[in-house]
Amino acid sequence: MNGVPYPLLSPGLAALPADMLRRMILGREISVPELVADALAAIGRLDGRLNAFIATCPERAMAEARTAQARLMAGAAAPPLCGLPLAVKDAEPVAGLPYTCGSLVYRDRMADADSVHVARLRAAGAIVVGKTNTPEFTLLGETRNRLGPDTCNPWNTALTAGGSSGGSAAALAAGMVPLATGSDTAGSITVPAAFCGILGLKPGHRRIPLWPGPGDWAPYSDVGPMARTATGLAMMFAAAAGPDPRDPLSLFPVVSRPETGSLRISWGRTVAGLPVETDCAAAAEGAAALFAAAGHRVDQAAPAVADPGAVHDLLGAVEEYRARGALLERDAALLAAETRAILELGRGIGPGALAAARAAADEVAARFRAFMATRDLLILPATASPAFPLRHPPERIAGQPVRPDWPSYAPFNMLGNLSGLPVATLPVRLTDGGLPVGALLFANPGQEALLLSALAQAETLRGPLAPPLLTSAR
């Protein structure tokens, strides 16, 4: 199983890589109903400890599985994601399933249409088995809300899975599904992927259309694939990418770069002097070493940009208030305290402060894009710390005091959102405590194909990691 992030202790079918499962289905080694039933059984066994899912749809999923199998048996061509179980983050709609966005405000809402992203994955043959947990309106770096228990990390259930796509990351890491979706405005795909030891891609801005949606964080919001292998990411991205007239920001072509052999790759332990734990910095260095060993041109260099955290926090609050400020008057009692605080922050920001923040963000983005223009990839630590105890983000990182907030433990992820460039998480190594740490790989506009190819090469060179233990801290 070359390229598998780690061998599970007791692997079921749904824990196998997506491309392997597709070959097994086409080779009649397994049936689609058998695979979907296995995924649903894995959710039933494990999710009571992980809280990765907010809802499942077993009857519907099995009906779709039987239909898919009947078509195959009748000789129909197999679609790219034929019969693969898919988990969808509860920040985008799936027709007929809950669409809560992690909020009590929408606890009874059911979606009446699929998002473009989901519709394309389903058209490619994926079968939705359920919706995964997310913090309220995707606003936290942990996956917790007032609807139910926190999502836990499969490597240690006393730890966070990260956020805001933590439900999807946990479901993948535990082997409940081979494919899942995420959304990302500041690292919501890449952070939980790092904490849970799986792969996630935040594509270039709107390479996958975002519709329908409330329009919040429009300059920075994207949806993208999460999977156990780089091949799984590539399969999902190929099925979902391309413009759609309902999302005006998506109206540009996807560009591919021809393979030219040796890549120009830079790597850094940090940016803007921000603190990073040794294990996390070592993950970036380890990823760079993999590419150097493969013959690529690798040097140590990082962009000279200011810390983007505070600026992105402020701009996000403005976007959030623009989209959902009315909830402060209408449903304040139903909102989490953190959501109310973000909305209040957005309401209180004046035009002068907003203009200054936008100028600062534009400067960071311009400098970052200029740095990237002279190289193919940039490697940075995926997070500044490994996964931390539930509801206890670090107050110190690498010995330095920090705010216990997402810009401290995920300081570089948002560079992909501010710049609009594609970025992915690659699991690289384990800490001495047995937790996964990873690297961010940034690429230039339209270079998702190159990025996915590089991920696959590094994954092969890295070899397998140890399995998640599904243990609780003692």
Taking the C-alpha atoms of residue 471 and residue 174, their distance in angstroms, rounded to an integer, is 12
List alpha helices for 198-269, DSSP H. Answer: 230-240
Cβ proximity of 292 and 285 under 8 Å: no
Taking the C-alpha atoms of residue 454 and residue 316, their distance in angstroms, rounded to an integer, is 31
In this prediction, residues 176-183 reach a mean pLDDT of: 97
Q: Rounded to the nearest 10 degrees, how much is the dihedral formed by the CA atoms of 123, 84, 253, 222?
A: 110
Q: Average pLDDT, whole number, for the chain?
A: 94
- Spatial CA neighbour of 142 closest among 154, 133, 130, 129: 133
Read off the pLDDT of residues 359-382 as tens digits, 9 standing for 90 and up: 999 999 999 999 999 999 999 999
Looking at the annotation, which residues are catalytic? Answer: 89, 164, 188
Place 473 in a pLDDT band, splitting at 50, 70 and 90: very low
List alpha helices for 331-465, DSSP H. Answer: 337-348, 351-372, 406-409, 415-419, 448-462
Which DSSP letter does residue 373 get?
T
In this prediction, residues 4-18 reach a mean pLDDT of: 66
Taking the C-alpha atoms of residue 367 and residue 372, their distance in angstroms, rounded to an integer, is 9
**Among positive and negative, which fits the CA dihedral 213, 150, 338, 311?**
negative
CATH code: domain 13-308+354-462 is 3.90.1300.10
Q: Does the bond joining 419 to the residue before it have cis omega, within 30 degrees of 0?
A: no
Place 239 in a pLDDT band, splitting at 50, 70 and 90: very high
The token duo for 277 is 């734990």
In this prediction, residues 83-101 reach a mean pLDDT of: 98
The token duo for 350 is 């004046």
Which pLDDT value is given to residue 256?
A: 64
Which range, 155-159, 356-360, 460-464, has the best average confidence (pLDDT)?
A: 356-360
In this prediction, residues 249-256 reach a mean pLDDT of: 75
Please report where in the chains the tokens 């209180």 appear, as a residue. Answer: 348
The token duo for 101 is 């966005």
Place 258 in a pLDDT band, splitting at 50, 70 and 90: low
In this prediction, residues 258-266 reach a mean pLDDT of: 82
Residue 110 has pLDDT above 70, yes or no: yes
Taking the C-alpha atoms of residue 225 and residue 26, their distance in angstroms, rounded to an integer, is 23
Cβ proximity of 443 and 291 under 8 Å: no
Which pLDDT value is given to residue 420?
A: 97
Place 30 in a pLDDT band, splitting at 50, 70 and 90: very high
Cβ proximity of 298 and 351 under 8 Å: no
Enumerate residues 6+ apart whose C-beta is below 8 A from 445: 204, 255, 420, 421, 422
Secondary structure E strands in 44-193:
53-56, 85-89, 127-132, 152-153, 156-160, 179-184
DSSP notation for 92-125: S--TTSB--TT-GGGTT-B-SS--HHHHHHHHTT
Which pLDDT value is given to residue 213?
A: 77
Question: Which residue type occupies 60?
Answer: R
Q: Where are the domains of the chain?
A: 13-308+354-462, 309-353
The token duo for 294 is 């493969």
Which DSSP letter does residue 380 get?
E
* Strand-pair category, 179-184 with 222-227: antiparallel
